[in-house]
Chain A
Amino acid sequence: MSGEVKHEWPLFEVFVRAKRGLNHVHVGSLRAADHEMALHHARDLYTRRNEGVSIWVVKSDDVVASGPDDKDAFFAPSGDKAYRHPTYYAIPESVPHI
C-alpha cells in the first residue's frame, strides 16, 4: 500500500426490492468503507421496518448515467409510439381497477 489513505468512506447507492415480484428500486445512498459494510448499513437504514426482501449496493462511482441533455435521444422515441402507453387505450369508466 502506498500513498495516503483517504479517510472519507466512498458513497454507495442502495436498491431495495420491497416485495417479491417487484423491481429493486433506488432508495438513497450511504457511506461505507466496503461493500460488506454497505450492505449492513443499508439493512439498518433502509429496511429496519421490515420493508424489503433483497438489497443491492453499488458504488456510486460505478454508476454510469445518461445526462439529462441526452433525454431526447434516449427517451423521445417512445413519445411517438403512443401504443406503448396505457393512456392510449380508452377504457369505459364502468370497468373497475384498470
Chain B
Amino acid sequence: MSFDDAYQALTDHADDARWAYGTGFADPLAGVPTALPDGVDGADLAAYCLMLGDDALIMSHRLQQWVTRAPELEDEMAIANIALDLLGQARLLLTRAGEAEGAGRDEDDLAYRRDAADFRHVRLAEVGDGDFGHLIARLLVFATWRLALLDRLAASHDPVLAAIGAKGVKEVAYHREYAAGWTVRLGDGTSLSHERMQAGLDAVWPLTGELFVPHPVEQRLTGVAVDPASARPEFDAVLAEVLRVATLDGPTAETITAHGRDGDHGVELPGILAELQGLARATPGGVW
C-alpha cells in the first residue's frame, strides 16, 4: 500500500478476500452435493431447515439490537461476532430450505416475505433482553442447546446439513464459552450482579422445555434431523456445571409454554418482523 496516494491504497486489491468480511472466505458448502438425499421428503426437509434457520435469524436480530449498547467495547465486538455467526448460519439454512422446497424461493424471500405464523423459531430466540444478565442467560441456554444440536447434525444424512452442522459447531462453541464466562463473572461477582444474573436465568427457564420436545417433522426425518430430546443430557450437564461455578440456582420447575415450531409465537414477534422486513417490503422491485 502506498502511504501517500490514497487512491492507490484503494485500488490495491491483492488480498481482498481477507479484508472484505464474509465475501471472500471459503464457501463452507463448496463441493457439497446439494441434491436431496434419496428417500427424504423435500417439504419436511424445508420445514426442518426453517426451524434451525429461524432460530438463528431471530436470535441474531436480538443480538443486533445490542450493537452500540454493550457494557464494554470488547463486548461490542464479541456480541457482533456472535450475531454475524448466527446470521451466516441462518443464510445457509434458509437457502437450503428454499432448495428443499423447490419453489424458487431464496434466503431473502424466506427472511423478508414470510408472515409471523410461517416462522418456526423457538420462543427463546425471540424474547427481548431486559438487561445484560438476561441476555447472557438467554445466550447460555441457546448456545448450549444449539451446540448439542449442531454437533449431532454434523452426522446428518443430508450432506448440506452435515456441513452446516460441522461449521456451526466451531462458532457456537465460542458463543457458549462467551456466555458461560459471563455467567460465572456475574454470578460470582457482586451481590447486584448475582441478583441480576439469577433473575435472568429465572426469566429464561420457562422457555427451555420447548427446546427438547421432538416435532413430528424431526421425527419423520430419521437420520437427517436431530432428535432434540437426545441433546438433553449434555445440556443439563453443562448447565449444572456452569451454574455450580457461578454460585447460581438451577431451574425450579419446568413448563412448556410455547410452540414456536408450529408458528405459535409471542407478542414481540410482530415488532421484530416490522423492523426486519419493513424496508424490504416497502420498496417493491428494489434491488440491494
Contacts and interface: CB of A to CB of B under 8 A. Distances in A.
B177 A40 contact: yes
A40 B174 CA distance: 9
A85 interface: no
Contact of B74 (A36, A45, A49): A45
Contacts of A40: 78, 177-178, 181
Contact of A37 (B18, B25, B174, B181): B181
Interface in A25-83: 30-33, 36-37, 40-41, 43-45, 48-51
Nearest to A51: B18
Nearest to A33: B185
Nearest to B79: A44
A48 B185 CA distance: 24
Interface string B44-76: 000000000000000000000000000010100
A36 B181 contact: yes
A48 B81 contact: yes
B157 to A, nearest CB: 30
A44 B74 contact: yes
A48 B21 CA distance: 9
Nearest to A30: B74
Contact of B25 (A32, A41, A50): A50
Interface of A: 9, 30-33, 36-37, 40-41, 43-45, 48-51
Given A36-B181, A43-B174, A49-B21, 13 more contacts: A32-B74, A33-B185, A37-B74, A40-B78, A40-B177, A40-B181, A41-B74, A44-B74, A44-B77, A44-B78, A44-B81, A49-B18, A49-B19
